[in-house]
Chains A and B, each alone.
Chain A
Amino acid sequence: MDFRLSEEQEAFLDSVRAFAREHVEPGVLERDRAGTWDWDVWKQVAGFGLTGLPVPQEYGGSGADVLTTGLAMEGLAYGGRDAGLNLSLGAHLTIGAMPIALHGNEEQKQRWLPKLAAGETVGAFAITEPDAGSDTASMKTRAELHGDTYVLNGTKTFITNGSLAEVVTVIARTDPEAPAGQAFTAFLVEKGTPGFEVSKELKKLGNRTSPTVELSLDDVEVHTSQILGDVGSALWKIGFECFDWERTVMIASAVGSMQRDLEESVRYAKEREAFGKPIGRFGAIQHKIAQMRLRLEIARLLQRQAAWMKDEGIEHSTEAAMAKAYIGEAGVESALDAIQLHGGWGYVDEFHVERSLRDAKLAGIGGGTTEIQEMIIARTLLG
């Protein structure tokens, strides 16, 4: 058994960390305060090759595997400390570009993948609805066939990058009677299509540098050539696969920020003195540092295991669920420890760790809540 990364993966992780420290971290505090998306930072990320990382090389990407894509997320979060950027990049890659790479026909791939890989547009995926989150099969958006055109009606919400994307993969019910596995279809809906609009910008607790919106579809006409994959099979073939990407790759962002917060906390514990000695000499602080390290190590092992299994084609739904369930909670715990350890400075934004807490909370909600992950884990045991 070998837990080591390859030399190339190590080199890449180092490179991403250094890149992010230089090009992403500066200004992150101000961007979070303003809650703004920054195209300049995105262009830097694109120029560095991250926006096409797992996209096949023939479509302008780098053809990286799942584990390496996770490493990029980890390194970017570690060096950049901009969880919103990580969220947008993660969504762009895993639920924006990859569904097209994996399920698109040649024409769709030629049309969208080079643009997405180059970061000229940002990818987005719309499945969640105001009344259908983790229970995706209850979604109400309808697509009715009229000749060679589908007419879509409904509302999608919590759509990461929804206001940036030139094309959004929208999941809609095409068969009102069929069971979930045969009822939903994915459509590549282009920005500017009449009736397809951003109906609301959502203000979030954290990840504020990433835009999250509600999208409304009001008699949106979509040609059958814009169907992604097969009619009826979108939920299981594309939707669940997207959740899998989120559980194996996007959670690596949390691992990166847990490591950075740990390192900053260790530094602070060594420098900050109380009662004549560094606070790191106190048992209460050591306990926090040790727990943060422990959580980081477990989080990283779970994430990399799930990513590795996905690369190897090994069934990993339980492992991915465990990784997500654990990281969703551990990230919050460690951010709370980092804040407590920093005392008053931890509670104000300039020491960055209060942002970590706000950012970390998302991992237990988006892409399937912790409770859903626990349900998946328990089902494998209880049937």
Chain B
Amino acid sequence: MKVVVPVKRTPDTAGEKVIDADSLTVDREAGESVLCPVNEFSIEEAVRLKEKHGAEVTVLVVGPEEAQPTVRKALSYGLDAGLQITDEAIAGSDALGTARVIAAALEATEFDLVVFGGQSTDARTSLVPAAVAELLGLPSLTYTRYLEVDGETITVHREHEEGWDVVTASLPAVVSVVEAINEPRYPSFKGIMAAKSKPLETKSLADLGVSADEVGAGAASATMYEFAPRPPKEAGTVIEDDGSGAAAAQLADWLVEKKFV
């Protein structure tokens, strides 16, 4: 079985994100970039497929040359090979443009399963996995909280507000996972050292046969007009207990009002 795990290089979640006022995109030079934390879950799932089915796993990243440490980091979890799509024309792509690049990269690759993270910590659109599946005409299995592969069939538990649905599809397929799917491991010393010598291939848009007009800021179907910093956190509601029990009722009302219960 061949598995591809597309990963994203995102601004460090712990750091402050900066939007560049001219390009209206995230300023990736302003802070440290990391492997998107949601990818730890998709990578872990791929590593488990490797352990269980002997899957061969390739990590795929779309991004500039500086994204290479992200590929190495992903490989350090125990993946087999890296594929990086780098082209200046890709800069400023929206979710659809990114999906076009990933779909083209996948078309040029042999695979049975694509395992995405659910939602990147920067853009948070959740659109790319489904768009890639659509572009490739493959089954799209999103919000996956459990997956099992048996021969040519994949069965997943697709999470929703009331629980989950059991969904079955034939391979090849595209899945995106939620954080409940597993508990990711940390890269071991062996994994980190082995990542140094794993094959890493770099391709341009021309290599994939994608025209520069189809991607990048110019081809984006979503346009960003303005942005504003997040408003400061408002003071929370304080319920004081006067010993009469009224506070408990107030708290219950508040929880109901906010739909927590």
Which A residues form the contact surface with B (CB < 8 A)?
Answer: 7-8, 11-12, 15-16, 18-19, 22, 47-49, 53, 62, 64, 68, 72
Closest residue on chain A to residue B190 by CB atoms = A62
Q: Mark B9-29, 1 if CB is under 8 A from A, else 0.
A: 000000000000000000000
A–B pairs, 23, beta carbons within 8 Å: A7-B69, A8-B193, A8-B196, A11-B73, A11-B76, A11-B187, A12-B187, A12-B189, A12-B192, A15-B187, A15-B188, A15-B192, A18-B186, A19-B186, A22-B186, A48-B186, A48-B188, A49-B188, A49-B189, A49-B190, A53-B189, A62-B190, A68-B189
**Does residue B185 face the partner (Cβ distance < 8 Å to A)?**
yes
Closest beta carbon of chain A to B24's beta carbon, Å: 32
B246 CB to nearest chain A CB (Å): 32
Task: Give A49 to B193 CA distance when docked, in angstroms.
Answer: 13
* Contacting residues, chain A, for B193 (C-beta < 8 A): 8, 62
**With a CB–CB cut-off of 8 A, which chain A residues contact B186?**
15-16, 18-19, 22, 48
Say whether B73 contacts A48, CB under 8 Å.
no
Chain B, residues 67-94, CB within 8 Å of chain A (1/0): the string is: 0010001001000000000000000000
B185 touches which of A12, A16, A48, A68 (Cβ 8 Å)? A48
Knowing that A15-B186, A62-B193 are A-B contacts, what are 9 other residue pairs whose CB atoms are under 8 Å apart, sorted by A's residue number?
A11-B76, A11-B187, A12-B187, A12-B189, A15-B188, A18-B186, A48-B186, A49-B188, A49-B189
Compute how far the CA of A122 lies from the CA of B192 in the bound complex, rounded to whole angstroms.
25
| C-alpha spacing A261/B57, complex, angstroms | 41
Interface residues contributed by chain B, number (CB under 8 Å): 12
- Report the minimal beta-carbon distance from A167 to chain B, rounded to whole angstroms: 24
Contacts of A49 in B (CB 8 A): 188-190
A48 to B78, CA, bound (A): 12
Chain B neighbourhood of A16, CB < 8 A: 186
Please give, as numbers and ranges, the residues of chain A lying within 8 Å of B188 by CB-CB distance.
Answer: 15, 48-49, 62
Find A11's partner among B185, B190, B192 (CB 8 Å cutoff).
Answer: B192
Q: For residue A48, which residues in chain B have a CB less than 8 angstroms away from its CB?
A: 185-186, 188
Contacts of B69 in A (CB 8 A): 7
- In the bound complex, residues from chain B placing their C-beta under 8 Å from that of A22 are 186
A53 CA / B189 CA spacing, docked (Å): 8
A270 CB, min distance to chain B CBs, angstroms:
17
Contact with A along B166-209 (1 / 0, CB 8 A): 00000000000000000001111110110010000000000000
The smallest C-beta distance from B182 to any residue of chain A, in angstroms, reads 14
Q: How far is the CB of A22 from chain B (nearest CB, A)?
A: 8
- The residues of A that contact B196 with a CB separation of less than 8 Å are 8
Which 10 pairs show the lowest CB-CB distances between chains A and B?
Answer: A49-B188, A19-B186, A15-B186, A62-B189, A15-B187, A62-B190, A8-B192, A11-B192, A12-B189, A12-B192
Q: Chain A's nearest CB lies how many Å from the CB of B175?
A: 25
**Chain A residue with Cβ nearest B188:** A49
A320 to B59, CA, bound (A): 43
Interface residues of B in 33-73 (CB under 8 A from A): 69, 73
Interchain CA distance A49-B73 in the complex, whole Å: 17
Which chain A residues border B192 with CB–CB below 8 Å?
8, 11-12, 15
Tell me which residues across on chain B come within 8 A of A19, comparing CB atoms.
Answer: 186
Residue of A nearest to B183 (CB): A22
Bound complex: CA A216 to CA B254 (Å): 66
Determine the distance from Cα of A141 to Cα of B32 in the docked complex, in whole angstroms.
58
With a cutoff of 8 Å between Cβ atoms, the chain B residues found around residue A47 in the complex are 185
Contacts of A53 in B (CB 8 A): 189
